[in-house]
């Protein structure tokens, strides 16, 4: 069965993706910062022998190196870079709140830097580190979980400047990675999961994590080489840059 590695798998969309892939019999490597505190993942591990839970702090080079060493030569068919943050603050903001650190007039450069490191740079560094494992498999798919906020064309708000710019930058980085890996048969895309009922999205969102995960899986399953480098909605529609 294929092996899927998911970052930020302890909650929200990452956890729902983990559950869904396991339910259909795939092997999943679920990573998160503190596996010992990931009670939902630990419960899943008692039900599914195909689940491997590993620690990963996506912004820490030593943590990434430890993950690579732990995996050894294990092939990875699909990499889903899901870990991300809405705010650089420790305050639990949701998409319905105004984050002063991202609003013109009170922008905080350090918090913006934190968001960029987690949302933009980390997915590329994780991808780079796991390339040998991805090349061991035949599927060769890489998905960056982006956001509708990463579309400059469709931008409709100004309250989350750092978050939106981090996702727009992620989309550009994804496109660059897609060019670099196209010759090796990789399909690399950015995916918009929709507005999801998570800690980040709020309870007022449109989709449950399970609904979003099912749609994302359907898109990933049907990806073709011609789609590499695209920004795709959970419905399968293309999103303008």
Q: Among all residues, which ones are annotated catalytic?
A: 163, 167
Please name the residue that has the structure tokens 């809405």: 86
Edge-first strand listing for the sheet containing 187-192 = 51-55, 27-32, 3-6, 78-81, 141-145, 187-192, 231-233
CB neighbour list of residue 177: distance below 8 Å, 6 or more residues apart: 124, 127, 142, 188
CA distance 174 to 43: 33
Can you point out the beta strands (E) in 84-235?
A: 141-145, 187-192, 231-233
């Amino acid at each position: 069965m294929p092996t899927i590695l998911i970052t930020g798998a302890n909650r929200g969309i990452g956890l729902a993706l983990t559950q869904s892939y396991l339910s259909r019999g795939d092997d999943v490597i679920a990573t998160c910062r503190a596996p010992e505190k990931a009670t939902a993942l630990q419960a899943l591990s008692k039900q599914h022998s195909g689940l491997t839970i590993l620690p990963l702090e996506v912004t820490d080079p030593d943590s990434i190196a430890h993950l690579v060493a732990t995996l050894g030569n294990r092939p990875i068919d699909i990499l889903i870079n899901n870990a991300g943050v809405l705010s650089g603050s420790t305050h639990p903001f949701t998409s319905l709140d105004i984050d002063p650190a991202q609003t013109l007039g009170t922008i905080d450069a350090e918090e913006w830097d934190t968001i960029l490191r987690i949302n933009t740079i980390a997915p590329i560094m994780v991808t780079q580190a796991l390339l040998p494992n991805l090349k061991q498999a035949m599927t060769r798919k890489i998905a960056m979980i982006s956001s509708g906020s990463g579309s400059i064309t469709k931008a409709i708000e100004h309250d989350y400047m750092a978050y939106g710019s981090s996702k727009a930058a992620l989309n550009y980085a994804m496109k660059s990675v897609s060019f670099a890996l196209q010759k090796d048969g990789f399909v690399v895309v950015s995916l918009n999961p929709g507005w999801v009922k998570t800690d980040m999205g709020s309870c007022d969102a449109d989709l449950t994590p399970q609904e979003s995960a099912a749609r994302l899986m359907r898109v990933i399953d049907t990806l073709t080489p011609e789609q590499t480098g695209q920004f795709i909605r959970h419905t399968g529609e293309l999103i303008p840059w």
